[in-house]
Homo-oligomer: A and B are copies of this chain.
């Protein structure tokens, strides 16, 4: 493999571990746990893995030799920086427990377990991937482990490979499924444990015991590097508004973190929009007012951050989309009628078949977007919200609003836009020192949970704003994070998604500052992730964590 100069140097990096894990380790059990809600239902669904205690690993105990442990590891879902370090942490952990331990990687995600596709991860392989980005060591996939036949197929190969445990590295859904699997294997006395690891750049898998999911730090640092560069360009050329969409469907943690790092003029937070029941027109008016006031100061430029999932948080858009899904559902009479119409008549026809409010929203949309909403459907006939280019939708609507304001004498500036979408640019970046250390520690901790015979636990490393030596390693029962939610019409036990808390410190700090940032051009330019310099530059966790812990 031909590798870059930076990779050569980074291969030498030894990720930091909590002090407590460096020598002999003992397990300390904490209090019994309960699920965050719906305790009765969750307990019934998870008779074997409900109510288990929190556990922590502390220094001490006898440094006695332990039995080898064989582990199968799975990468599930979208890439996040640091996945390879979780795997190298597991590898080093189980080898420390006993050099006879073995690590197998299932290929291409959870599907590899079901299809019995795997590779033994040797130290030669692991060494090539230490501190690198990507999930390419074994690949990832989006197969959901939800059905018993999948669990049984998985058990077959686990038995063949004499696995003590599976470690599933994934987001909230994958960890939910990991817990269902843990429960199933427990019920069957299958002798295979299941441990989860909290991964997602979106940052929406977190709670008291899981302070952050891995990858969020690196991804937001890459996006902030780019946002900073674009801000500097905006402030140099002084002629463009850059509308930047940021990956992440559900929560706006990425946008908030990037805003805290770079201080752009506008940042939309989906959770606030939902809470305040803002309309598209409210949002457009808010943005146009900032553009106009900056223009009044002679500043016909700016930067706006827009979360990818925004549209689904705007109540009126959610309603419109639901109505469109009904109106144009495959095989309905209305869909047939729609398809018979000449193209030039379709938008009016659609509007006339919506409720008054939705019709007004629909008519306010730029024609291209309105057409897209009626045409591009997924295999179930639903509007494909992810195809809507939210940044362009808002850009066009703001331009329209400003031209009305110009006629009314309320805007005398210029408004030219550039659009960007950042997502793939950051998901496979090489992990920051923070993520390299955090992931390695998560993996190492997972190996200890396996060795201690735990199942249905998520690896947990806390106290993350302190230096790595002082981090606290342990395990959290996955059921503790669960509640019941409706999914595809059925109530299901799921890990509660962590949205941006509007009464949390990060959001409140942002709110206290965004007025200044809007008008004052107080951009910060974070620059690229650094690995070798002073700790202030290289080893800082996210602003979100810093503020949450402040």
Which A residues are closer than 8 A to B by beta carbons? Answer: 2-10, 78-79, 108, 132-136, 139-140, 222, 225-226, 228-230, 232-233, 235-238, 242, 261, 263, 418, 420, 424-430, 522, 524-534, 536-537, 540
Contacts and interface: CB of A to CB of B under 8 A. Distances in A.
A528 B525 contact: no
B225 A540 contact: no
Contact of A133 (B237, B525, B530): B525
24 contacts: A3-B524, A4-B228, A4-B527, A5-B526, A5-B536, A5-B537, A6-B528, A6-B533, A9-B537, A79-B232, A108-B238, A134-B233, A134-B235, A134-B236, A136-B235, A139-B236, A222-B229, A229-B424, A229-B425, A230-B424, A233-B428, A430-B525, A430-B527, A533-B533
A483 to B, nearest CB: 30
A8 B424 CA distance: 29
A437 to B, nearest CB: 17
A263 B1 CA distance: 12
A191 B283 CA distance: 57
B229 A2 contact: no
Nearest to A528: B528
Given A2-B522, A430-B525, A524-B4, A136 B9 contact: no
A528 B529 contact: yes
A532 B531 CA distance: 8
A525 B431 CA distance: 13
> Which 10 residue pairs across A and B have the least CB separation, nearest first?
A528-B528, A532-B533, A232-B428, A134-B232, A135-B236, A6-B527, A233-B428, A134-B236, A4-B526, A136-B236
B524 A2 contact: yes
B425 A236 contact: no
A429 B6 contact: no
Contacts of A522: 2
A297 to B, nearest CB: 15
Given A4-B524, A6-B527, A225-B528, 17 more contacts: A3-B525, A4-B526, A4-B527, A6-B528, A9-B536, A79-B233, A108-B238, A134-B232, A134-B236, A134-B525, A135-B237, A226-B226, A229-B426, A230-B425, A233-B427, A430-B527, A533-B533
B5 A540 contact: yes
Contact of A236 (B6, B140, B527): B140
- Output the residue of A9, A263, A528, A533 with the most chain B CB within 10 A: A528
A3 B231 CA distance: 13
A261 B4 CA distance: 8
Contacts of A139: 236, 238
Contact of A527 (B7, B108, B135, B238): B7
Nearest to A532: B533
A244 to B, nearest CB: 10
A237 B428 CA distance: 10
